[in-house]
A and B are shown apart, each in its own frame.
Chain A
Amino acid sequence: GENVEQHPSTLSVQEGDSAVIKCTYSDSASNYFPWYKQELGKRPQLIIDIRSNVGEKKDQRIAVTLNKTAKHFSLHITETQPEDSAVYFCAASRGNFNKFYFGSGTKLNVKP
């Protein structure tokens, strides 16, 4: 099956700085890559996603890049704010029954 690795496990940045979280996947047939944000004790919420037919997608301060050849994708958050503090999960799916395989998560701490 698919194996998704995520780095770093923890990330601490100063408010206003940028944060980058990286994921690699093993299944070259994976074609959909969502990112989820999970606040403490709450359900994961989709924040951005990308499909394999594009290399980059941006939504305000959040962007995701995908390198299919290298099988890695990254989440970029610019101008970080304290409310960005949460655990972020990447995932990969090849579309069969829409099964997601998640990375181990990155705990982002934005210091005011």
Chain B
Amino acid sequence: DAMVIQNPRYQVTQFGKPVTLSCSQTLNHNVMYWYQQKSSQAPKLLFHYYDKDFNNEADTPDNFQSRRPNTSFCFLDIRSPGLGDAAMYLCATSRDLQGKNIQYFGAGTRLSVL
């Protein structure tokens, strides 16, 4: 059974049209992450939530925002998508345990920008 669920698997949006990607988890993990993965590249961390505390990476563009309304759900908002934002977006979760903070990833949402 899927534990980190990302919807939709494929998303098409228009240049400049806001888009929201969603992630839900059934693991009751307190940490949730968003990564961007462009074609033939490694995943790149955008930001993460530790409980309700939001932590942005220094080089994440302002165009990317996130919301976490409760433990189970986290959203990635792209306010004005550009062609360069076409990528796979991966959500991951972990529980903060000493020495065993394993991240579990969803299958990802592939975003196309037309």
> Does chain A bind chain B?
no
Q: Which residues of B contact A (CB under 8 A)?
A: none
